[in-house]
Structure 1
């Protein structure tokens, strides 16, 4: 637990909330003059035992439950980045899921310009793998030059994808399916993900692979065989990143090399001169 950072974050956000906005009145005589809600008022609003919030803010509550942190975050109006900070300060780990289920569904419009500036295939998809932005190089991967609305549904279920994604059943699907399972674990109410899972389970090829499980969930740096609609067979190296304000979204760059497989590039490290 990072007590100093936790206390600073909570005090700052608590001070921004007017007690009157929650039906409390400020004392008019002698008494408390600090801005914002009192710690006791926070306990009342969260329906917690008196002193619970004080323990959290003071850093004397080891391993506070995630539901308490979530309730505090919602009451204080934290955004997704602040929610991540709260969990890291209080639990020394990332949150179990987004603060709001609506999070991860949109990115700032400048991302389209950023994607357009990339010469390789590039796109941004949201937390449900719905496509938000892409460049022409990515569109050219497909025979009709029209990328799918949802990249995960296409990769797992579209018959054309099983040709484009060479060795689909052994090279692509075993690495894609765990990503779907993990996404559902953190977003269990996401209707898009729920529907994709239903379709996957019902699919005679994808279903057994999904039930078999798997642990590889991060595509960053992977190199996989790909059949490009214009450039022919080759290998795609994937670079993955996340827009910081959109938890679960992903920014993907696919570097395509036609022909036989090339040696993996070395890992970049800071070198001392």
Structure 2
């Protein structure tokens, strides 16, 4: 816990909320001054918590506060995802287990479209459903047909003809991603539809039910058939727009070569 940062962060957010906007009376402050915002006991009242619960948290005397309390406070204060992450780090010393809002991950800042078009290698941005939001021309050139509208569906259902050794090099790594995403976002109808199509094929269903632990492709190297350059290997570099947990930014480094990639250091580290 970072007591000083937590106190400053919470007080600033609390002071920014007018009690009248929530149907409460603005409390009188000390020395006859009006309070800047909500009183601490009003936060307890709004969250249906025991008296002094919030005061204890803001003062830094609540060790390991439960995530549900922090989430209720974050929603009351209308924090964004980055502020939600900061709150959990200040109060618990860790990142939040899930995004704050169910809608997070389905939209990214428009600047990402400009960023993608300036990448030389195939690059694209998807939302939390793997629906493509932006891509560049090298990404289009990769595909035999039209570029996919959804990369998860393409990898598991419609794009197998381009994915060399689909059953061994692709499906066992991609299917756990789908399963993990649905565990976190069970109401996502796009992902549910992909799961339905995967399970409709007996061979795919067996691989899907087998499971696995891979949940992201960052650094993976897999064999693929490029529409223009032929067979080769693609190295996947994955990142996440910080304002949109669940969305992803992908750069694909393609090498036209029938041989497996050369060994390389697994991690880059500062000296």
Q: Which residue in the other structure is 1:205 paired with?
A: 203
Q: Which moved more, 1:95-104 or 1:30-39?
A: 30-39
Please give the per-residue CA displacement for 1:207-261, whole angstroms capped at 9, x wherever unaligned: 2112111112221111110111111100001111111111111110000000123
Partner of 1:243: 241
In structure 1, list runs of 5 or more residues that go unmatched: none
The question of whether the paired residues in 1 share the 8 Å contact of 2:129 and 2:190 is answered with yes
Q: Deviation digits for residues 71-111 of structure 1, max 9, x if unmatched? A: 11010010011111112222222222111111111112221
TM (norm. structure 1) is: 0.92
- Corresponding residue for 1:234? 232
CA contact (8 A) 1:39 1:54 kept: yes
Other-structure match for 1:253 = 251
CA distance in 2, matches of 1:208, 1:32: 69
- Quick one: distance in 1 between partners of 2:209 and 2:5? 42
Maintained 8 Å contact 2:236/2:250: yes
1:32 CA displacement: 6.6
> Aligned to 2:225, what secondary structure does the other structure show?
strand
Gaps of 5+ in 2: none
Provide the rounded CA distance (Å) in 1 between the counterparts of 2:186 and 2:67. 16
Query: Alpha-carbon deviations, 1:136-195, whole Å to 9, x = none?
Result: 111111112x2111111111111xx21211111111111111111222222222222222
Q: Could you say if the C-alpha distance between residues 55 and 101 of structure 1 is closer, same or farther in structure 2, counting changes exceeding 3 Å?
A: same
Matched position secondary structure for 2:202: coil
User: Would the alpha carbon gap of residues 220 and 64 (structure 1) be closer, same or farther in structure 2, given more than 3 Å must change?
Assistant: same
Distance in 1, matches of 2:86 and 2:247, equals 18
Measure the CA separation in 2 of the matches of 1:242 and 1:140: 24
Which residue of the partner structure matches residue 57 of structure 2?
A: 56
Residues of 1 paired with 2:110 and 2:199: CA distance?
A: 35
Partner SS, residue 161 of structure 2: helix
Q: Is the Cα–Cα contact under 8 Å of residues 101 and 189 in structure 1 kept in the other structure? A: no
Distance in 2 separating the partners of 1:220 and 1:31 = 58
Counterpart residue number, 1:4: 4
Q: C-alpha distance in 2, partners of 1:96/1:28?
A: 38
**Counterparts of 1:10 and 1:27, CA distance in 2:** 18
Question: Residue 250 of structure 2: SS of its match in structure 1?
Answer: strand
Contact 1:166–1:227 (8 Å) recurs in 2: yes
* Preserved contact between residue 98 and residue 186 of structure 1 (Cα < 8 Å): no
Report the TM-score, using the length of structure 2 for normalisation: 0.92
Q: What residue number does 1:69 align with? A: 70
* Whole-angstrom CA distance in 2 between matches of 1:193 and 1:2: 38
After superposition, the C-alpha distances for 1:4-50 in whole angstroms (9 at most, x for unaligned) are 22222111111100111111122468667331111110111111111
SS of 2:87's equivalent in the other structure is helix
2:222 corresponds, among 216, 221, 224, to 224
CA contact (8 A) 1:105 1:127 kept: yes
